Structure 1
């Protein structure tokens, strides 16, 4: 049965009233039914995310290259174009979701994003067309990042936000688990062109109903406020201009850029790396799926840990663990070693952006969260493009991934060290 406090919280949108009820009763605030509905909707919609495409792209890397006689560097460079254009578009998305209902952004963005994925089936031997299609994909991909969904979640939740963001990000982890095997099966049966069309159609069918029927913007945020009107508690915090003058923001952005190089590089090339080691397609795809499944645990663990412990130490742990995966991939370690490496990569990939969202909220508040988080994810998106390209470069030049793995190990160590310099415990929430 719903308590009067829960009904009051729901009526007020679940945020300010929720805290008031907790203060009056002396009990920890609970998430109400409407909050769970919005959280479930965001998580389901996040299946249609850039992360899902990024992790799944590994199974397309070799088939596309072999169709046109391209090396891995060419196809990886095209994917890097997507990440760069996405990074630039993030600033616009951050501005939009801070001013308007983010739900509109994700609905329109989902239609454009899935259509852009399907358009990759039109790739020809023309590299101009290749890069143009991937650039168009990146322009609309920014709407399918964590930025609009994290804005929605941070507006609905003022208690255990880290856990809520972690649960929200489960969708992308589920997407990275189920979509690579599906894409590989379609490629084996009908080719990579059909796989892109099926990929886009499945994501659209999953995400759009959740966005239309489950996700809502809190009532207290519905009406636009005139300039100069008082902000609510949920809107307090630091402006983007002020945040840009703090070393902490640049440290978070740089650390995310470095770890994105590491984790995305490993994720995108994991399938090809294992194939080069003599693993069959089934075992290589299984490793990618294990990474996706492990992301589910990583999302939740990172969110809960960032709520309960010092966020800088949690970030350092998640940024340092990839060293274990790199060590296992450095030398042939059999299917068991590959599975462990994939699990570590997945757990760490599941946690990095969830921790970053909590750090941004703790350090800078809700007021300009969309713009500040977009700035942080700009570095992350750039790293997602340069990491796979870097590994492809080292492979094409040396015929192995050894040098590339060495570089990634150094980047992970640097990212881990940067995380130790953050001090969110002194921040406002």
Structure 2
């Protein structure tokens, strides 16, 4: 949970909305350019994510996580050294996205999947609440740092969190399951789990491409509103304090989405569960697409989006473990993170561009509704969970 909270996925994502106005004021950058940093991160992760998954399957999660947390923290701190050169700023995001790939959810879900089976969904949900904790706490903390000490110091303090909090706790507590069938095995070694598909077998399966298409749409629709949330609410006429109170609920909703989603996945067929749950953020996007949104309606819509965002990565981790097994979980998850990164990277940029062109978000939010519904429907052909034989082929 701590590793998830302090990794590459939540920290830049949940703080860019706080830093963007300061950088725009300091350097005159457009909102589209600032949201482009999220797109840069996503494009780089499309390559670094699978590479990190490859390292996970060979070196183990603990070693990868410790190195990646430290390097990611240093790179995030370096954002406070921005000079006004947009390409230099993008370059910082490129390096951060390479060295921080080991802090992505594949690292943490790999360990959880190795320890849990019957209550795997709930265990994934509990571990993944780290994202919601970050979403709930980091925005007001960053706002306070920026107000008291300026945005440069704020970058430094936030970037130090993975180093001074993440590394000690991960070094102390993170342990992987022992090697199967070997008494007294080194728990720091990557577990030798031979059940499931190889990457080649997974790629040749129909389910792999079904899931890829579904999560491209889901990631686009769930990721896009988050960094644009403050500006979406601003276009609805809400004051700054109202916006702060409404968006604070997002992080708590993400936590609830993690736990509720994990509990549901343990009890119901995952694709059907996904379609039902994704209707909730679809409703949130639909409400925000209209003018004249009241405070209670906006709060309800943001909570709906948070519930969906909390469910997304639990669902992905659960589906990969159930449909492809754990034999090459890290590598396969890294490939799917490429899809997540593509959809998630395009979303904020498309939404930001829509605002620059039209001055609003109504049309793209309705598009997000369609993506969520279609993405949920695409998962239904996955069928029942397979059973894997000794050679990894599904029975």
TM-score (norm 2): 0.91
Secondary structure at the residue paired with 2:377?
Answer: helix
Is the aligned partner of 1:88 residue 2:77?
no
Residue-by-residue CA offset, 1:125-160 (whole Å, 9 max, x unaligned) = 212112101111211232111101111112222331
Tell me the distance in 2 between the aligned counterparts of 1:141 and 1:261: 22
Counterpart pick for 1:403 among 358, 363, 366: 363
**Residue by residue, what CA displacement relative to the aligned partner does 1:87-131 show, whole Å, maximum 9, x if unpaired?**
210111111111122101111100111111111111222121121
Structure 2: runs of 5+ lacking an equivalent: 389-393
Match of 1:291 among 218, 234, 250: 250
Within 2, Cα distance between the matches of 1:412 and 1:283?
A: 28
Work out the CA distance in 2 between the residues paired with 1:137 and 1:384: 17
User: Deviation of residue 223 (structure 1)?
Assistant: 5.8
Query: Aligned pair 1:47/2:5, yes or no?
Result: yes
- Partner Cα separation in structure 2 for residue 304 and residue 243 of structure 1: 27
Task: Say whether 1:354 aligns with 2:314.
Answer: yes
Q: Partners of 1:286 and 1:144 in 2: how far apart? A: 29
| Secondary structure of 2:278's aligned partner | helix
Distance 2:22 2:315 in 1: 35
Corresponding residue pairs, total: 380
- Greater shift, 264-273 or 190-199, is seen at 190-199
Mapping of residues 51-62 of structure 1, within 5 Å: 51-62=10-21
Q: Find the counterpart in structure 2 of residue 7 from structure 1.
A: none
Residue 242 (structure 1) aligned with residue 204 (structure 2) = no
CA contact (8 A) 1:395 1:404 kept: no
* CA distance, structure 2, for counterparts of residue 219 and residue 240 of structure 1: 23
Instruction: Compare CA radii of gyration and give the structure with the larger one.
Output: 1
Cα distance between partner residues in 1 of 2:372 and 2:100: 26
Taking structure 1 as the reference length, the TM-score comes to 0.84
Say which SS state the counterpart of residue 176 (structure 2) adopts.
coil
Please give the per-residue CA displacement for 1:312-347, whole angstroms capped at 9, x wherever unaligned.
Answer: 011112333222111221223222111111111111
Separation of aligned partners in 1, 2:64 and 2:241: 38
Residue 198 in 1 paired to residue 164 in 2? no
Q: Does 1:370 align with 2:330?
A: yes
State the partner residue of 1:386. Answer: 346
Report matched runs for 1:125-164 at 5 Å: 125-164=84-123
Residue 57 (structure 2) aligns with: 98
Distance in structure 2 (CA, Å) of the matches to 1:317 and 1:155: 28
**Conserved 8 A contact 1:62-1:272:** no
Q: 8 Å contact 1:253–1:375 — kept in the other structure?
A: no
- Deviations 1:243-262, CA, capped at 9 Å, x for gaps: 00112112212222211111
In the alignment, which residue of structure 2 is the partner of 1:282?
241
Rounded to whole Å, the distance in 1 between the matches of 2:121 and 2:357 is 42
**Deviation digits for residues 216-248 of structure 1 (CA, Å, limit 9, x no counterpart):** 122326569xxxxxx96x431111100001121
Structure 1 residues not aligned, in runs of 5+: 1-42, 225-230
> 1:45-67 CA distances to partner (integer Å, 9 max, x unpaired)?
22102124312322222222232
Give me the CA root mean square deviation: 1.9
Cα distance in 2 for partners of 1:277, 1:187 equals 25
Deviation of 1:426 (Å): 4.2
Q: Is 1:113 the counterpart of 2:72 in the alignment? A: yes
Q: Does 1:251 align with 2:214?
A: no
Instruction: Note the 1:168-187 alignment, pairs <5 A.
Output: 168-187=127-146
State how far apart, in whole Å, the 2-side matches of 1:61 and 1:305 are.
37
d(CA) in 2 for partners of 1:285 and 1:253?
35
- 1:302 positional shift: 1.2
